Amino acid sequence: MKVRTLLAGFALAALAAGARPADAQVPTAKAKSQTERIVTLGASVTEIVFALGAGDKVVGVDQSSDFPAEVARLPKVGNFRSVSAEGLLSLAPTLVIGTTDAGPPAVLAQLRSAGVKVHLVPTADDLAKTEAKILGIGKALGREAEARALADKVLADVRAANEWAEQTGRRPRVLFVYARGSGTLFVSGLGTAANEMIRLAGADNAITAFEGYRTLTAEAVVAAAPDIIAIPKLGLESIGGIRGLLALPGISATPAARARRVVTMEDGLLLGFGPRLGTAVRALASQLHPGLNSPGGDE
């Protein structure tokens, strides 16, 4: 009887001190993270979330997300700029992460009203913004240390790739063409992700008269006189490949067309500004400067 009374006294003292029975314990941060259900909007956002080790929490992605390979099994919620509230909510997400051009805003407001956390990070078209994007996503995931390490690696990889690309001392003039079929044709000026990729790969943008993207015209193309034309893979396929590209207004009159100097890369790799940015710079530089010696080592 004395032992039983003593044990009861210990239990009462523990409860008074703030302890709880096992079945009444507050979930730990780790337990909460295990129930997180994430939807990512934007290819680079998806890559970063997976690179930070939270891929097992992702339950849906936008249609542009195709890397890493695991995303192929995940439901697609449509174009990240025009998602529907119904499609997203059907996945029962607890957190939606996207770039600031994800939307529309009314849908994001609906998600917030439904109790879903929505975290937006700025789009990236240079190193500083890429770093900020990685750190912002790391904060949303509660993985700040991992994000800092990933950002440091990306910055180091890109700087090494840029130094490698600059070895030749030659800077070819590159015309960047964005296409989604013959009815959607643009060329890149300054201040774009394409312009920054060209610079990092040791070349110059052939278009310097304006910023952003403008409709492709024969006059602008001929005046640019590019040595090389760069175009994302999906865009090239949408206009019928190399033959279709060379048939565009003004293209056939350029030095690039006469030498058939056309380079293409996977869209998400070329313009993603995510974890594979260093790899992307090396891949583009190797096409723009085919005489470069092998850099050696891995990214």
- Domain-embedded: residue 10: no
- Domain-embedded: residue 207: yes
From 162, 189, 212, give the residue that closes a domain.
162
Residue 75 has what pLDDT? 97
**Using N-to-C axis directions, what is the helix angle for 43-51 and 127-141, rounded to 10°?**
60
Residues 143 and 180 in one domain: no
From 141, 162, 183, give the residue that closes a domain.
162
- Of the candidates 29, 114, 37, 19, the residue with the CA atom closest to the CA atom of residue 77: 37
Domain that holds residue 271: 169-288
Q: CA 162, CA 175: separation in Å to the nearest integer?
A: 19
From 143, 162, 181, give the residue that closes a domain.
162
Model pLDDT for residues 215-258, shown as the tens digit of each residue: 999 999 999 999 999 999 999 999 999 999 999 999 999 999 99
Residues 33 and 110 in one domain: yes
If you ran DSSP here, which 8-state letter would residue 211 be given? B
Residues 195 and 94 in one domain: no
- Domain-embedded: residue 278: yes
Residue 169 has what pLDDT? 84
- Domain-embedded: residue 1: no
- Domain-embedded: residue 4: no
- Domain-embedded: residue 294: no
Residues 50 and 105 in one domain: yes
Q: How confident is the model at residue 25 (pLDDT cuts 50, 70, 90)?
A: very low
Residues 118 and 147 in one domain: yes
Q: How confident is the model at residue 50 (pLDDT cuts 50, 70, 90)?
A: very high
Q: How confident is the model at residue 94 (pLDDT cuts 50, 70, 90)?
A: very high
Model pTM? 0.83
- Domain-embedded: residue 78: yes
CATH assignment at residue 279:
3.40.50.1980
Q: CA 139, CA 143: separation in Å to the nearest integer?
A: 6
Residues 50 and 154 in one domain: yes
- Domain-embedded: residue 14: no
φ, ψ of residue 165 to 5 degrees: the values are: -65, -30
Residues 213 and 273 in one domain: yes
Residues 140 and 202 in one domain: no
The larger pLDDT score, comparing residue 217 to residue 294, is at 217
Residues 106 and 157 in one domain: yes
The arithmetic mean of pLDDT across residues 256-282, rounded, is 95
The arithmetic mean of pLDDT across residues 31-44, rounded, is 82
User: Any idea what the Cα angle at residue 211 is, between residues 97 and 155, rounded to 5°?
Assistant: 50
Residues 128 and 209 in one domain: no
Model pLDDT for residues 166-181, shown as the tens digit of each residue: 988 889 999 999 999 9
At 48, the amino acid letter reads: I
Residues 49 and 143 in one domain: yes
pLDDT(298) > 50: no
At 162, the amino acid letter reads: N
Residues 139 and 249 in one domain: no
Q: How many C-beta neighbours within 10 Å does residue 42 have?
A: 27
Q: CA 77, CA 2: separation in Å to the nearest integer?
A: 65
Dihedral of alpha carbons 95, 68, 269, 215, sign? negative
How many domains does the chain divide into? 2
